[in-house]
Amino acid sequence: MSEKPQLRTYQIADLAFYIANPKCANLSDPGTGKTPSVCVYAYWLWTEKKIRSAWVMPKSLLKKNRDELLRFTHFTPDDIVIIDGPREKRAKLMASDAKVFLMGFDRWSADWTTMIEMHPDLKALLVDEIHLGYGSMSAQRTKQMVQSARHMERFLAMTGTLINGRLDSAYPTIHVIEPRYYGSDKAFINYHAIKDDYGTIIGWQNHHKLAAILGRHAIRHSFEEVYGKEAKVIIREEVEMSEQQRKAYDQFEANAILELQDEFLSSGGVGGVHALRCRQIMQHPETFGIAH
């Protein structure tokens, strides 16, 4: 066998964490080397446990992660299959004797029942950039992913952005790892969301519980931890607000409420929320559909 690149010390520790925790997450910053340890994990699952893996990800990563599997493990090209293309082609690929099946989010959500019927030993679900594919429980494909995970012995979520704008974007991952923490997405919202009088979510609370859960079931490496401190140079530049942005800012600052295209933005009478929203309108108007 040809020599393969060696995992770094922290990546070996990550691999040990996956092995010891059948359902877990790696929440390390982008660019910190999550992929190599996951490749070796998939190889360990097959060689030691005879478990096949489904590795789900944005389609832009399919070829890159296939190459990484070949680079870091002793899998052969026949052991790794990308599920994509017309129905007839997909059916043939799914029926192959591959040990790792790579595919996009929609493909897994649509075909997982067929795949586990073909391969009863397909018992590991690995999800790369999970926040991009399964960040909302209202989405049908997320519901299918959660249902599929009930048939899995192993689950590993990978992302540096688990909380993607809203605290509840973390819920699908947490629910798969341990559903007893909240029971349902509604229970999560009731515990963590701050709502105004109209039922609109205007903020989040009880972050300590979420931090405790993720601290127990996930690992994380910062970019600085892996590569050292950066010599950052921050240059501030002042810019004028656009006319529409200034109008929205002044209206919200004065009235603590702003009518957007599909909803109302309100501070709910909370001073800290009011200040935060003013800052968001000023610095990130695109978040609310306000032209900059």
DSSP class per residue in 60-108: GGHHHHHHHHHHHS---GGGEEE--SSHHHHHHHHTS--SEEEE-HHHH
Kindly report, residue by residue over 101-133, the tens digit of the pLDDT.
999 999 999 999 999 999 999 999 999 999 999
In this prediction, what percent of the chain has a pLDDT beyond 90? 71
Q: Above 80 in pLDDT, residue 150?
A: yes
Which parts of 79-184 fold into alpha helices (H)?
87-94, 105-118, 130-133, 140-149, 171-177
pTM greater than the 0.85 cutoff: no
Q: Above 60 in pLDDT, residue 72?
A: yes
Q: Above 70 in pLDDT, residue 164?
A: yes
Is the C-alpha dihedral spanning 201, 204, 205, 210 positive or negative?
positive
Q: Above 80 in pLDDT, residue 291?
A: no
Question: Average pLDDT, stretch 236-261?
Answer: 81
Residue 146: phi and psi, rounded to 5, are: -60, -40
Mean pLDDT of the chain, nearest integer: 91
Q: Above 70 in pLDDT, residue 195?
A: yes
Q: What CA–CA distance (Å, rounded) separates 67 from 172?
A: 28
Q: What CA–CA distance (Å, rounded) separates 285 from 244?
A: 10
Q: What CA–CA distance (Å, rounded) separates 64 from 101?
A: 14
CA angle 41, 44, 49 (to 5 degrees): 125
Q: Which one is predicted more confidently, 230 or 13?
A: 13
Window from 31-45, 146-160, 253-267 with minimum mean pLDDT: 253-267
User: Can you give the pLDDT at residue 140?
Assistant: 96
